[in-house]
Every structure is written in C-alpha cells, then in structure tokens.
Amino acid sequence: MAKTKEAELTAAILLYMIRCIGEGDLLSLHQMNVGEKEIEQLKQIKVLDLHYIDMLKSHCLQVQLNQRIFANIFQYMLAQHRAEDAIQQLLGEDAPYSMLEFFFGLSNREYTQRRKSLKNMTATGRTKEPNEDATDQLFARWSRHDQRDASGRFVEPLEYIAVAKELNLSVRSIWLLTERWIARGVGIKRAIRLAKATSSAKF
C-alpha cells in the first residue's frame, strides 16, 4: 500500500534530524524543540526502520510556513526552471559551448553530454559565417537592440534565438559575430554612432 502523506512528512523530518545528529548540528535540533532524550532516541533509529511508519495517519510535528523564505525558494526554483528551459532551447538551436558557459556556467563535459542526448545533433565544426549583406543586417539589428548588457551581449539568452529566426541565421553564427565585435570594441562605438545618427534623423 502507498505511504500516507503523514508518514512521508514524518519520515522526511526524521531523516533530517538523523542527518543533523550525524553532522553535529545540535542547534537546528534544539530549534525544533528536540531535547537530549529525543536525540538519544533518534540515534537508535536506522534508515531502514522508517518503513515501519508507512501507514501513520498522524505526525508529531508542528509545521509553520515562513512565507518570506518560501517566496525566496519559489523564485529560485522558478529561475532554475526557466534557465533549464532556455538551455534546452539553445542546445536545440546548436548554440556554441562558449555561449552556454557564459550565461549558465555549463561545463564542457556537460555541454558535450547534453548535445549527445539530442537527436539529429551533428558534431560541431567550423561555423559558416553569413555573407556581407546578412552581416550588415545583423549588426543593424544588434546595435539597435535596447536589451543589451554593458559589454553588448543580449541580456536574455533566448533573444539570440529570436534574432536568428528573424534574420534567418544560426544562433552559432550570431554569437560568433557579436562576440567578435565585442572583443574588438568596434561594435559598441559604431552602435553608439549609429544610435546618435538615428536619433538626429528624427528631428
């Protein structure tokens, strides 16, 4: 039979208490109103013994949610979920390793393993650069983009996919070219001049 929800809660807390004892974290136990007597009793419990409480319909806990901390945990989980979703989308668009390392701290090993897990993903070779017209279109689009960081990169990684689809270019090519402009420092200067020229033309 399936565990009761009360049994799952109790087992999780008991495991936490047992780990606190193993790590010598008596402060956390005392904050949970666990006394010396209970600590000695917990030392006698083996992990395998926890299945004896599978059918409990009550628990010995007084649970109270800290709404502020819960909100922080929720926001962290949401951010991790969005990051994972972005990684999957970028990998699906054959984004280069340097891009995923910069935005998400992905290691070379993880990048390689995750690429291998995708179907129809070919080995990375030399990136085919866009022709001159496509390069000019990309620079114009990139330099006018209002959501870039101080160095010139798009703030949102998925924006590289949006621009790639808009200009019919690969994410890999866009990253290669924009990183080259950023490294040379030429792109930012030209972007500033272009923005000023565009602004002046309005008056």
For residue 76, how far is the Cα from the chain centroid? 9
Residue 198 confidence (pLDDT) above 50: no
- Point out the least confidently predicted range of 94-98, 104-108, 138-142, 193-197: 193-197
Q: pLDDT digits over 50-107, tens only?
A: 888 877 777 777 778 889 999 999 999 999 999 999 999 999 999 999 999 999 999 9
Instruction: Report whether 60 contacts 53 (CB < 8 A).
Output: no
Say how far apart CA 23 and CA 196 lie, in whole Å.
61
Average pLDDT of the residues in 9-29: 92
- Point out the least confidently predicted range of 12-16, 34-38, 56-60, 63-67: 56-60
Q: What is the pLDDT of residue 174?
A: 93
- Residue 187 burial (10 A CB sphere; 0-12, 13-18, 19+): buried
Q: What is the pLDDT of residue 76?
A: 95
Say how far apart CA 162 and CA 172 lie, in whole Å.
13
Say how far apart CA 141 and CA 164 lie, in whole Å.
11
Residue 171 confidence (pLDDT) above 80: yes
What lies within 8 Å, CB to CB, of 187 at 6+ separation is: 139, 142, 143, 152, 178, 181
Q: What is the pLDDT of residue 184?
A: 81
